[in-house]
Amino acid sequence: MARVYGKKYVLLLLPTLVFLGIFFLVPLLMVVIDSIYGSEGEGIFFNYFVFFKDHVSRTAYLRSIRIGLWVTGLSIIISYPTALAIASINNRTLKTVFMTLMVLPLMTNPVARTFAWLAVLGRYGLLNNFLLSTRIIEEPVRMLYTEGAVLIGLLQLFMPMMILSISSALENIPEDLSLAARSLGASGFQTFVRVTFPLSVEGLITGGTLVFTGSITAYVTPAILGGSRVLMLSTLLYQKAAVVLDWDMATTIAVMMFLTTLLINTGFRLIGKVGRR
Amino acid sequence: MAFLKLENVSVGYHKNEFVVKDLTLNVGRGEFVSLLGPSGCGKTTTLRAIAGFLRVQKGRIIINGKVYNNIPPNRRNIGFVFQNYALFPHLNVFENVAFGLKIRRFPKDVIKKKVSEVLEFVGLKGFEERLPSQLSGGQQQRVAIARAIVVKPDLLLMDEPLSNLDAKLRIEMRAELRRMQKELGITTVYVTHDQAEALSLSDRVAVMNRGRIEQFDTPENLFLNPKTLFVARFVGFQDFVEGEVVDVGVNLITVRVGDTTLRARSMNRSSLGMKVILVARPKNFEILESRGANSLKGEIVSRIFQGDNILYVVKVPNVGYLKVEIPVENAKWQEREAVFLKVDPENCLAFPKEE
Amino acid sequence: MSGKIFVYIMLAIAILFLIGPFIIIFAASFSESEVLSFPPKGFTLHWFKKVITMPMFIRSFETSLWLAVLASLLALLLGIPVAYVLARFDFPGKRFVEILTTLPVIIPQMVAGLALLRIFIIMGIFSIRTTLLIGHTAIVLPFAVRIISSSILNLPHSIEEAAISLGASRFRVFVNVVLPNITVGIISAFILTFITSFNNVPISLFLTGPGISTLPIVMMTYMEYYYDPSIAALATLLILITLGVVLVMQKLLGVSKMI
């Protein structure tokens, strides 16, 4: 793209830049500043000190990270074979059907999606009914409002993203490569380990980033399936901001959330670069 | 006076990095001129600068006496035919061709008439309703031409329009293009990397290399009397040998090559002791059994059938592998035979060796 | 060969896991029991009737609707010029613009919601409606830009140059040549931004207040107090609508483009 006549086309960017600058960037900066300086004048970064010292916020934070890791790990384990299965389907229409089935959950309302788990994990829900009727247990087990419930809910929420990431990475691998490996004597397993998998790592990294950051920032699922018993960063944030009106803590939590996702993003990308060597 | 003049034009994509350097070109009214060269030589850049898609950093572009440097591309009334035709996918043939006329606000009935006429001219009568996706490559190309010429542009620019067509179609289209241009009399600048195409279509050809014009001449002159080594190689001369000038005559010079001497035609001023490269066309070599005048010793390595002639690859010690084309009737030598390669001094050109 | 069977089993499990809940909601919405249960007991359309007549659902549905439409239109209005400039030009600061336009995707939505709450509502600069619109527009803008950008990149630049050489001004080129060819992209961008805005929780969460709320928020509040199949019925309706829209989008441009 060389110098063209008239540079004034760059002015077309102005409305959007102004819009995002004023209505997005500025408020965010003010949140950051609020969190650093606090409202009581205890000194800068005092809020962060409190954040890590306070049992509740610390637990919520660590829990979010912990559950995030579990969700990411589990989703990889289930999604990878699934993506492989989809990639190996030769029938075009069938493949499209499965891909649509994967995309569909992403388009539906998260409230609706999470709601279903209430029906499954509730005291009189599907799972309990089944276990009771087969006499595995004597009394209904409390499954809701546990970390497990949140885990399952988040897993269902984000698995499609992981499947899609890996799928698209797999689709980009030329079919001839595995044939070439076979012709050189590699078994199916060896081909997978030495050819297919390394080439799909990119998709894992993209998917992993999305799932991990998504799990940490999700609100609906932890709110509905975890309630106040299983406080995560996002539910704590809402509590502090809208219920307790502890503005200092709220802004600090918000900044911590953002910093953590930023760290995860960069971290994963570095892993990707190193792995490529 | 020239109709299109490029005066010391320099064009670049980055500051002070010029792709086209100090180029001067004069094209007469109604003339068909080609810019010929390898990819990266700046021919397309020159064309786009004339069209106004690129700004000229230095120099002037003058058309019909008027300086065009600061005129935006949509006001230049210059027709442009793209390599990939660039037909509007959402419009049918009629609407594609009528586009420029609509912008110029011609009344509907006039547009209809003009579009019909030009479609007939390019041989696409009856194709009005079709969409570009329903046309073959050759048909799309004709629509592109029709669209460009229907507005009666002052200048017609073509950027490798035939390179996406298959070989047979290309040759047919060449004749068509020539016919159309002659009938319309539009001044045309044509860009290509195919020397056969440029030489067969044009009144004059500018051979370009690295942003500069090496030679601007008629096809015959370029073919027979290339002025630089680059041009010679481009029009089919093959590197022959290297040597040192030992005698300078009126028309011919004598060059020492190894332990023999050869006579050749010098295209530039030669001085004694100058290092030169000799080039000749594969067709102009003769294969002899024994040493004759102006010949080198060699061994036949391959014999390849090419239909009308045989291609011999001859290994010449201390020189390399040379290609020689001999008509089938005379090609009696076989592989591994030791032979002598002879070339007539008139057909052997000498150029100074560039360091 | 066991490898093949293994992956297909995983595929089945994944599908069950992902789609199962939808089937459960679907079935449970017809149940006659007062409490959400699966398998459903009996069959009734009572819950559906209830949710489409309840004022709070109707009002919040309308709010979500106009919000989604306006935010999408605004995002397109702002996003199309940006997509065009980013796709066709190179200029100093381009990287900055690219980052700024993807910022709303990088920043967690809860953080954005909080920020908007602080600035506009607490400081009383804008009304709740306006702030909601601003928030939703900002969130969906990056999607609009991305989809339209890729649509424009699929259109060879030479087509625009051809129009210019024939005498069209840049504006004319955009309206008569570029727009008609990116219509599919614009429509899919609109659909995606609409769905994203409609389903949004984090932004709406902070910004909704007395008198004005979006459907997802109202659904969540309802769920805190009532455990009946109403939400299941509502969820079923929403899912069916989404399904229809996704199928339309499928037809338009295929699944891969949606990622």
- Compute the distance between CA of residue C117 and CA of residue A27 in angstroms, rounded to an integer: 9
Please state, in angstroms and rounded to a whole number, the distance separating the CA atoms of residues A181 and A194: 9
Three-state DSSP string of A68-128: HHHHHHHHHHHHHHHHHHHHCCCCHHHHHHHHHHHHHHHHCCHHHHHHHHHHHHCCCCHHH
Domain that holds residue C189: 54-258
Q: Quick check: is C124 in a domain? A: yes
C63 occurs within a structural domain? yes
C-alpha to C-alpha distance for A219 and A154, rounded to whole angstroms: 10
Same domain, B247 and B185: no
Which domain covers residue A138, as residue numbers?
51-276
Q: Are residues B195 and B78 in the same domain?
A: yes
pLDDT of residue C256: 46
pLDDT band at residue C258 using 50, 70 and 90 as cut-offs = very low
Last residue of a domain, one of B210, B231, B252: B231
Q: Indicate whether B224 and B256 sit together in one domain.
A: no
List pLDDT tens digits, range B22-55: 999 999 999 999 999 999 899 999 999 999 998 8
B224/B275 same-domain check: no
**C positions 200-219 inside 8 Å of A (CB):** 201-202, 205-206, 216, 219
Looking at residues A158-187, what average pLDDT do you find?
87
- The token pair at C175 is 């309206």
- Residue A262 maps to a domain: yes
Confidence of residue B151 (pLDDT cuts 50, 70, 90): very high
Q: Do the domain assignments include residue A196?
A: yes
Q: Could you tell me where the beta strands, DSSP code E, fall in C86-219?
A: none
Of the three residues B172, B207, B231, the one that is the final residue of a domain is B231
Q: Judge whether A29 lies within some domain.
A: no
Q: What pLDDT, in 10s, does the model give residues B102-140?
A: 999 999 999 999 999 999 999 999 999 999 999 999 999
Q: How many CB pairs under 8 A join A and B?
A: 14
How many domains is chain B partitioned into structurally? 2
Q: What is the mean pLDDT of residues A30-38?
A: 86
Residues B314 and B192 in one domain: no
CB-based contact A112 C219, cutoff 8 Å: yes
Residue scoring higher pLDDT (B41 or A11): B41
CA of C243 vs chain A CAs: smallest distance (Å):
7
Show which of residues 161-200 on chain C sit within 8 Å of chain B, judged by CB atoms: 161-170, 172, 177, 180-181
Shared domain for B30 and B157, answered yes or no, is yes
Q: What is the pLDDT of residue C142?
A: 94
Residues B218 and B248 both lie in one domain: no
**Residue B41 sits in the same domain as residue B186:** yes
Q: Are residues B223 and B255 in the same domain?
A: no
pLDDT greater than 90 at residue B91: yes
* pTM score of the predicted model: 0.84
Domain with B300 in it: what CATH number? 2.40.50.140
B331-344 pLDDT, tens digit per residue, is 888 888 888 888 88
* Residue B206 lies in domain: 4-231
User: What is the percent of chain A where pLDDT is above 90?
Assistant: 29
Three-state DSSP state, A249: helix
| CATH classification at residue C214 | 1.10.3720.10
Residues in chain C within 8 Å Cβ distance of B99 = 163, 166, 168
CATH number of the domain that residue A230 is part of: 1.10.3720.10
Residue of B nearest to C166 (CA): B100
Total domains in chain A come to 1
Contact assignment for C159 to B88 by CB distance below 8 Å = yes
Is residue C36 assigned to a domain?
Answer: no
Task: Provide the chain A residues 36-55 that lie in CB contact (below 8 A) with chain B.
Answer: none
